[in-house]
Amino acid sequence: MMSNRFRSVSLLALVLPCVLASRAVAQVAVRGKTVYTMTGAPIRDGVVLIRDGKIAAVGTAAAVSIPEGFRVLEATVVTPGLIDAHSTVGLSGIYNQPHDQDQLEHSAPIQPELRAIDAYNAREKLISWIRGFGVTTIHTGHAPGELISGQTTIVKTWGDTFDDAVIVSTAAVAATLSPLAQKTDKGKSPGTRGKMMAMLREELIKAQEYQRKREKADPEKTPDRDLGLDMMGRVLKGEIPLMVTANRAQDIASTLRLAKEFNIRVWLDSASEGYLMLDEIKQAGVPVIVHPSMVRAFADFENMSFETAAKLRKAGVPIALQSGYESYVPKTRVVLFEAGWAAANGLTFDEALAIITIDAAKILGIDNRVGSLAVGKEGDVALYDGDPFEYTSHCVGVVIDGNVVSEAPQ
């Protein structure tokens, strides 16, 4: 043990200049008794070869020879690095004190101009916590809790800065159609469901008119630039989806109505009564980022079901799973555990793994880069000493862009 440790330390010293020059230097081979590639049937005794940070080969150990000098990691089960399709970590921090809580700005109910990029703390401790369970990509940003709370981003769970970590700088604009966004400060924030929809529609109509005027040739009539309306304009053009957090059936219906009225791309978020709206959601062609399987059953979630993910998927709705937003203890959930609970409540093992890997990547629009173990994709891999969903298994290794970022069993 000791000599191995020394060897890796001295190796580190040798390669340090290269690390500074380029993040992805490690040449790594991951060998697993079972390798879930998410592109087909699992491979028994498989190898994933990662060269210069990208996957160079995937196959059986017999078919893929490991070149000299490659570092070899071994595990019982190997999966693609996991994707958490909706989190707030990096904006929400472990201490839960005002100085590390940037996920909700309460000064106004509609602030699409708030960028996640300006708040994301790449060194946040919760990020290394979830990474230790195999989560390598997160969609994170402004939390549910204001009508339009701000923007979201997609990042890897590694790197010292936002620029190191970023995959998609602005992924979505986050909206909340739920009593979570209702306030009692009369006149500023919405107090009812009707008012929430009225304010959202007004904002989108304002953005339509702003866009039209901005695009007119006459510079005399061009309205002043407005960061929020710029952003809503991108939503109206379909460049960026509006992620709408809605749980009750009527709020889900409102979300679908809004998508149709303005012909915008929508990600339906949470959807704890989604099992009541299977046909409607499917017909609308809207993907769902499902609430954590074990979300607490009260308030907006009082009719939550452990089987929501299974029912939506069975109905043919594209879904991904999330760890969600936690305002108290624990400060974050772990999407691996939420997927395990979904696997125990109606989904098959493969389906439950898909909604935190390839299916999540497809919804988030990053499946060209991550989400499966396929040649050309980024070298993000999670290693486990047993069934990843079993509580008593451990994540025994995490590789991001070909870098072995964690080996301590967690």
Partner 1 sequence: MMLLTGCLAAKAQEAAIHPDAPQAFVGAKLIPISGPEIDRGVVLIEHGKITAIGAADAVAIPPDARRVDVAGKIIMPGLVDTHNHIGGFGGADSSAPIQPDVRIFDSLNVRDSGFRRAVAGGLTTLNIMPGSGHLLSGQTIYVKLRKAEIIDDLFIRDADGKPTGGLKMANGTNSMRDAPFPGTRGKSAALVRERFIKAQEYRDKIAKAVGDSDKMPPRDIGLEALVEVLDGKRIVHHHTHRHDDILTVIRLSQEFGFRVVLHHVSEGWKVADEIAKAGVPCSVIVVDSPGGKLEAVDMTFKTGAALEKAGAQVAFHTDDWITDSRVFLRSAALAVRAGMSRDGALKALTLAGAKMLDLGDRIGSLEVGKDADFIILDGDPLSVYSKVLETYVEGQKVFDRTDPKDYLYAVGGYGAGNEQAPYLCCFDQPEGQ
**Beta carbon nearer to partner 1, 286 or 334:** 334
**DSSP code for 367:** T
Strand partners, 244: 175, 268
Task: Record the tokens describing residue 124, joined without a space.
Answer: 């946040």
The answer to whether 305 contacts partner 1 (rule: CB under 8 A) is: yes
For partner 1, the binding residue among 46, 81, 318, 340 (CB under 8 A) is 340
**Beta carbon nearer to partner 1, 31 or 394:** 394
The answer to whether 329 contacts partner 1 (rule: CB under 8 A) is: yes
Task: Record the tokens describing residue 325, joined without a space.
Answer: 């937003």
Q: Which stretch binds partner 1 (CB under 8 A): 22-30, 60-68, 89-97, 221-229?
A: 89-97
User: Please, what is the minimum distance in Å from the beta carbon of residue 150 to partner 1?
Assistant: 14
The answer to whether 250 contacts partner 1 (rule: CB under 8 A) is: no
Measured between alpha carbons, how far is 316 from 267 in angstroms, rounded to an integer?
15
Q: Cα-flanking dihedrals φ and ψ of residue 163, to 5°?
A: -65, -35
The answer to whether 262 contacts partner 1 (rule: CB under 8 A) is: no
For partner 1, the binding residue among 302, 348, 350, 375 (CB under 8 A) is 302
Angle between helices 227-236 and 193-215 (to 10 degrees): 90
**Beta carbon nearer to partner 1, 265 or 331:** 331
**Beta carbon nearer to partner 1, 126 or 232:** 126
For partner 1, the binding residue among 94, 199, 205, 278 (CB under 8 A) is 94
Measured between alpha carbons, how far is 222 from 215 in angstroms, rounded to an integer?
8
SS3 assignment, position 76: strand
Residue ranges in 357-396 that form contacts with partner 1 under rule CB under 8 A: 389-394
Q: Which stretch binds partner 1 (CB under 8 A): 13-21, 32-40, 199-207, 327-335?
A: 327-335
Q: Which stretch binds partner 1 (CB under 8 A): 71-79, 156-164, 289-297, 313-321?
A: 289-297
Burial of 57 (0-12, 13-18, 19+ CB in 10 A): middle
Could you tell me where the beta strands, DSSP code E, fall in 81-165? 82-87, 135-141, 148-156
**Beta carbon nearer to partner 1, 108 or 299:** 299
CA 380 to chain centre: 15
The helix (H) or strand (E) run that includes residue 204 is helix 193-215
The answer to whether 265 contacts partner 1 (rule: CB under 8 A) is: no
The answer to whether 63 contacts partner 1 (rule: CB under 8 A) is: no
For residue 330, whether the previous peptide bond is cis, meaning omega lies within 30 degrees of 0, is: yes
For partner 1, the binding residue among 273, 359, 367, 380 (CB under 8 A) is 273
Residue 278 vs residues 273, 318, 358: alpha-carbon distances, Å? 10, 11, 22
Paired sense of beta strands 381-384 and 319-321, if any: unpaired
Contact 275/308 with Cβ under 8 angstroms?
yes
Q: Which stretch binds partner 1 (CB under 8 A): 59-67, 73-81, 98-106, 254-262?
A: 98-106
What is the pattern of x (binds partner 1, CB under 8 A) and - over residues 391-410?
Answer: xxxx----------------
**DSSP code for 378:** B
Contact 36/79 with Cβ under 8 angstroms?
yes
The answer to whether 334 contacts partner 1 (rule: CB under 8 A) is: yes
Which alpha helices (DSSP H) does 88-139 contain, by range?
125-131
What is the pattern of x (binds partner 1, CB under 8 A) and - over residues 99-138?
Answer: --x--x-x------------------xx--xx--------
For partner 1, the binding residue among 11, 227, 299, 375 (CB under 8 A) is 299
In the complex, the residues that contact partner 1 under the rule CB under 8 A are: 93-98, 101, 104, 106, 125-126, 129-130, 143, 145, 273, 275-276, 294, 296-299, 302-307, 326-334, 337, 340-341, 343-345, 389-394
